[in-house]
């Protein structure tokens, strides 16, 4: 169930910058964009309405993690905004994830973050007191996500094959850290190309700066689109 459109991470400081960026695209080009904490907390729900009114699809990346009742109500509010995809932390537990699903309903896709890719195995052991390997922890959280009835997980490209072989091809994997050949890595450490992400089996890929900071973002987007959809 691979989504053809690369998801563009709109990591801009405010709505004005988003508007300027979206104006670069022809009006009939319907994009899939990711809105994260920075933009959502600075611009509020209006940023979702603005992007949805232009006909684009929205992945709202807020990574909710709270008691089940609070997450359920928050998700109901996000469903009202018309988000197409959003997420929670799997560490919140199966009960919390089920509550998230109840609040959001079954229209939008709901994913879980397993271990953040910024967490090393040493940090996980020391900070979270989880004494397994990082891969085992990621796998465990992915299983809990499936038990809770969510659609899939956010994971690094390296983890896609293992997760799919355990939970099935229909369990969705969204991967960030994508870099076209020749583009700067920025602060990303382990990167894959759009082509690799596709052959690994990712269903969605998130890519930001190689498009948003490009001299010609439109051209960069189409190049990524083509590589992601190559046979
Ligand atoms: O600009 P870049 O392509 O690195 O943007 C990737 C986006 O995906 C950013 O919004 C970043 O926060 C997000 N992300 C990530 N790695 C993760 C989870 C989210 O890069 N493991």
First to last CA, the chain: 15
Question: What was the pLDDT predicted at 117?
Answer: 86
> How many whole angstroms from 176 Cα to the centroid of ligand 1?
5
**Backbone torsions φ then ψ of 153, nearest 5 degrees:** -130, 160
4 is catalytic: no
Our answer on whether the CB atom of 207 is closer than 6 Å to any ligand 1 atom is yes
Q: Is the distance from the beta carbon of residue 177 to the nearest atom of ligand 1 less than 6 Å? A: yes
Give the list of residues 6+ apart from residue 40 with CB closer than 8 angstroms, or none: 47, 48, 60, 62
Which pLDDT score is estimated for 184? 84
Task: Read off the pTM.
Answer: 0.96
Known catalytic membership, residue 63: yes
Look at the chain and count its residues.
231
Instruction: Indicate the domain borders of the chain.
Output: 7-229
- Using one digit for the tens of pLDDT, what is the confidence trace for 111-152? 999 999 889 999 999 999 999 999 999 999 999 999 999 999
Predicted pLDDT at 176: 95
Q: What tokens appear for 186 in the block?
A: 């920025």
Ligand 1 centre to CA of 184 (Å) is 14
- The pLDDT score that the predictor gives to residue 179 is 94
Residues 6+ away with beta carbon under 8 Å from 151: 109, 110, 111, 171, 172
Q: Is 12 helix (H, G, I), strand (E, B) or coil?
A: coil
Catalytic residue among 19, 66, 84, 98: 66
39 backbone dihedrals φ, ψ, rounded to 5°: -70, -40
Q: Is 5 helix (H, G, I), strand (E, B) or coil?
A: coil
CATH architecture of the domain covering 7-229: Alpha-Beta Barrel (3.20)
How many Å lie between the centroid of ligand 1 and the Cα of residue 178? 9
The parts of the chain modelled with pLDDT lower than 50 are none
Q: Look up 216 and say whether it is catalytic.
A: no
pLDDT at 178: 94
Residue 103 Cβ < 6 Å to ligand 1: no
């Amino acid at each position: 169930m691979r989504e053809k459109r690369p998801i563009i991470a709109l990591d801009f400081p405010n709505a004005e910058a988003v508007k300027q960026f979206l104006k670069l695209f022809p009006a009939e080009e319907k994009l899939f964009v990711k809105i994260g904490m920075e933009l959502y907390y600075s611009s509020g729900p209006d940023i979702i309405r603005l992007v949805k009114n232009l006909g684009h699809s929205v992945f709202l990346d807020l990574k909710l993690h709270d008691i089940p009742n609070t997450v359920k109500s928050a998700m109901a509010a996000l469903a009202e905004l018309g988000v197409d995809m959003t997420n929670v932390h799997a560490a919140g537990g199966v009960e919390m994830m089920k509550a998230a699903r109840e609040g959001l309903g079954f229209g939008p896709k709901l994913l879980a973050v397993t271990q953040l890719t910024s967490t090393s195995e040493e940090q996980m052991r020391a900070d979270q007191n989880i004494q397994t390997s990082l891969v085992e922890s990621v796998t465990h959280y992915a299983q809990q996500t499936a038990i809770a009835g969510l659609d899939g997980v956010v994971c690094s490209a390296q983890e896609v094959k293992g997760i799919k072989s355990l939970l099935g091809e229909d369990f969705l994997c969204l991967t960030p850290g994508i870099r076209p050949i020749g583009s700067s890595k920025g602060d990303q450490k382990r990167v894959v190309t759009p082509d690799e992400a596709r052959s690994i089996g990712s269903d969605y890929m998130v890519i930001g700066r190689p498009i948003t900071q490009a001299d010609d973002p439109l051209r960069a987007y189409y190049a990524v689109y083509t590589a992601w959809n190559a046979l």
